[in-house]
Structure formats: structure tokens, C-alpha cells
Amino acid sequence: MNWRKVRFYHWAVWIFLFLPVFLYLSAPPELASVGGRFGGGGLIPLWSTLSQVTGLLALTALSLSFVLSSRFKPLELRLGGLDKMYRLHHRLGITAFVLIILHPLLFAIRFIPERWGHFVSFWGPFHRDLSMNIAVFAFWLFIILILLTLIRKFPYNWWKQTHRLMGLVLVGAAWHMLTIPETPGRPVAHWSNATLHYYLLIMVIAGVTAYLYKWIWIPLVREKYRYQITGINRMPSGIMTVQMNPTGKPMSYQPGQFAFARFEQNNLSDEQHPFTICSPPGIETTNMTVKVLGDFTKKLYENLEEGTRVRLEGPYGQFNYREGSRRQLWLAGGIGVTPFVCWLHDMRIKKLSDIEVDFYYCVHNREETIYQSEIEKWSRELPGVRFHLVCTGEEGRLKADRIAWDENNPPEVYLCGPVQFIRDLRAQLNRRGIREGMIHYEEFEFR
């Protein structure tokens, strides 16, 4: 994964977001007489210009956030992995949230202070124009859905179902854009600017297509890998290993990738969840490790049965030690050890001895470890691997300054674990001189 290319594609997304502002501000005078920056009598007041700009940005941000939530494989490859693609989706969602609030606020502020009644009624479905009333419903639906996203205690499966309603927000916003008429004192930026109009139309079509791809195409077509559970190993720490064999064509994947699994069992929810594949490619049995982190994984841990059929969608992830340099540093926190277990197993099968690895596995205490015996055994078989178990309850948290490496030849770093674990160590590694392009990480937080 080329870090510079990934950065380029991330910047490209933000350029797509702000391009409508450039098209709006660069409209030639002959296109700006009504729908551009100027009205018939001169310069439109500042509130109207800002309302136009925030409206353009809000619709574009919303459309792009749909595209980035689609799990479209070519985008995942270019944006550095699904976790980074989703994080960018979250940022655009918050950006759209702010802009969607500002857009009507900047328009309605003209009613203050003389017409407070108009200001208050403006936020309700009391307009003569249907497109305005549809925009009001879309506005309040969006506010509610974003607030549910920010409430961390809101059950994940309920959140996921309500999140599907975001499609109505995009359709409502698009309807508002395409049908709102121009009136004296209320120009519409894109009607007299064909380039801007078609750009917004393309963004909306892309957003709606992404929505249909995620909620219709993926369940019907991309969940094509069928497996059946052949073994379950439950550990007392709330972790279990699930073994499954394909009942049809097996899924091809790289070491350390993950897939979305849907378990077809009556007393389990029908929702998808991502799990790392712990077994190396090329063997018949596929292993996934599950840790109890919420309601779904708790029920899965308590109720999953052998013989249950599983539908897999994937694989996803750009977390791959094979693309790294000869000297590597692996840092795992808790359940984040799973991709590294797969890597070690893969190295052992391929008898790779030319990669030097310092592997740090961080847990609170020894009772929380998983695969420890396998890791120690495989590390002894691989001469370039040095394994370090860090029990934070005894030694304190792992700090970058406790790790030794050649300052003139720093290793390539791979991080996986809780979000705060990754962020803390990334900052410490940066301070010790390891540039961001040498640090690879994967976060398992898709909400």
C-alpha cells in the first residue's frame, strides 16, 4: 500500500467536496444574473451567499459520505482499507451535519429581529412550496439519525436499521435541489450554471447508487461465499474461535484480511459483523475469532452452534506484512492480535526467514491472552521473529521509548488493537522519528 497514493486519494475526496464552491464563485457574469452570485439589483446580501455555499457543500458532503460507506472494493483499495474509508465517511457525515444546520439558518437569519414568528415557523413544514417542506422533513430526520449515531449506548443493531433511513435524507435533499424554484430575492445557484447543476446531479446519482449497492446489491450478490461451522472453542475471557468449512466456492483472501459474516441461526440477529480471518490462505478450514464487545457478540458467544450456516462477504483490508520492509515491528492490543496470528502462521507455512520481526502483544493480564502457545511455538520456529508479551497490569502500558531499534534504519510498523491504543502509539512513534508512511494500522470501529 503506497502511503503517498493513499494520501492523494484522501485529498481528492476533499477536492470533490469543495469543487462546487469553485464552480459557484467562478460563474461568468452572464450566468450569474439570477442564479449565480448576483441578483438583479446587485450583490446579494452575505447571508444569502453563505446559505447558497453551505447548501452546495452539504449536498455534496452527504453524497460523498454515501459513496464512502458503500464498501466498494476499488475505493477501499485506493483509500488504504475499509477502516480508513469509513473514518473518512464519518468525517464527511459530521461535515454534512454542520453544513445542513448552517444552510437554513443562514437563510432564516434575515427574519431576525423584526419577524421572529417567521423565523420559528421556517423550521417547520409550513411552507407553500413542496420542495421546502420535503427539505424540512429531510433536515429533521438527518438531525435525529446523526444524534443516534453519536449516542454510543444506542444498540448497534437498532442504529444500523435506523441508519438505512439516511437514503430518505439524500432523496429529500436532492428533491429540494432539483425542484426549488427561483423567486425574487431567492436565487438558486445551480439553475443558471449548467456546470454546477450537472456536477450536483452527478454527486446525487453517485450517492443514491452507492446506497442501493450497499443495501441491495451486497446482500443479494456479494454475500456469495457459503460456509458451515464445524467447531467452536469458547474461552472463559469472552473470546471464542469459530471454525468453518466452505460448502461451495471458498473465499480467496490475503493474510490478515477480514470479512463480514452473517450467521443463519434462528436465535441470532441477521445483521452482518466484521471479523478477522485468523487462518492463513490456502487451507480448507477458515477460522475467525470473536470477542464479546456488545449485545450481538455476547449473544453470538452464548448461542452459536456447530452446523450453523454462515454467509461471508469480502475480503476487506489492506493490512499486509508481505508489502512491508525486511525489518518490521508488530504491535498488538487485545483482540487486535488476530491478524498477526494469521501472519505468523503464514510465515511458518511459507518458511519465511528473511523478515525480522519484533512482535509485542499487549494484554492486561496473562489470563486474557489468546493463541499464546501457538505464537510462542511459531516464533521459535521462525529465526527472525522475537516475541514479547506485555502484561499492562504488571508492567504498565507499552511505550514507544521501551522498544529498541536502529535509529538509522527504523522498522516498518504494524498496529492493530483498540482505537486509543493505536492513536497513542502512533503519536509516540512519530515523536521518535518514524514517519507516518512507515506506520500501518487497522481499527475495528465501523460505527
Mean pLDDT of 52-81: 92
Residue 41, pLDDT above cutoff 50: no
pLDDT interval class at 96 (50, 70, 90): very high
Contact 228, 244 (CB under 8 A): yes
Mean pLDDT of 289-314: 91
Between the alpha carbon of residue 279 and those of residues 239, 250, 258, 270, the distances in Å are 16, 13, 11, 24
Contact 284, 249 (CB under 8 A): no
**Which residue has better confidence, 275 or 191?**
275
Task: Please name each of the domains of the chain with its CATH number.
Answer: 3-221 (no CATH), 225-316 (2.40.30.10), 323-442 (3.40.50.80)
pLDDT, tens digit (0-9, with 9 covering 90-100), for 253-278: 999 899 999 999 998 888 888 998 99
Residue 28's pLDDT is 61
CA–CA distance, 189 with 270 (Å, rounded to integer): 44
Mean pLDDT of 323-345: 91
Q: pTM of the prediction?
A: 0.86
Place of cell 468525517: 91
Which bin fits 135, alpha (ψ -120 to 50), beta or left (φ > 0)? alpha
**Which residue has better confidence, 442 or 3?**
442
Mean pLDDT of 317-335: 89
CA–CA distance, 276 with 257 (Å, rounded to integer): 6
pLDDT > 90 in the chain, percent: 47
Between the alpha carbon of residue 427 and those of residues 58, 405, 422, the distances in Å are 32, 17, 9
What's the number of CA atoms in the CB half-sphere (13 Å) around residue 101?
Answer: 8
Helix residue spans in 288-418 (DSSP H):
295-303, 338-350, 372-381, 392-395
Residue 190, pLDDT above cutoff 80: no
Report residue 288 as a C-alpha cell.
475467525
What's the number of CA atoms in the CB half-sphere (13 Å) around residue 215?
Answer: 16
pLDDT interval class at 352 (50, 70, 90): confident
**Which range has the worst mean pLDDT, 134-138, 151-155, 386-390, 396-400?**
151-155
Mean pLDDT of 93-120: 87
- How does the average pLDDT of the chain come out, rounded? 87
Nearest C-alpha neighbor of 332 from the set 247, 440, 416: 416
pLDDT interval class at 10 (50, 70, 90): very high
Place of cell 460448502: 247
Q: Give the SS3 label for residue 409.
A: coil
**Which residue has better confidence, 116 or 19?**
19
pLDDT, tens digit (0-9, with 9 covering 90-100), for 228-252: 999 999 988 889 999 999 998 999 9
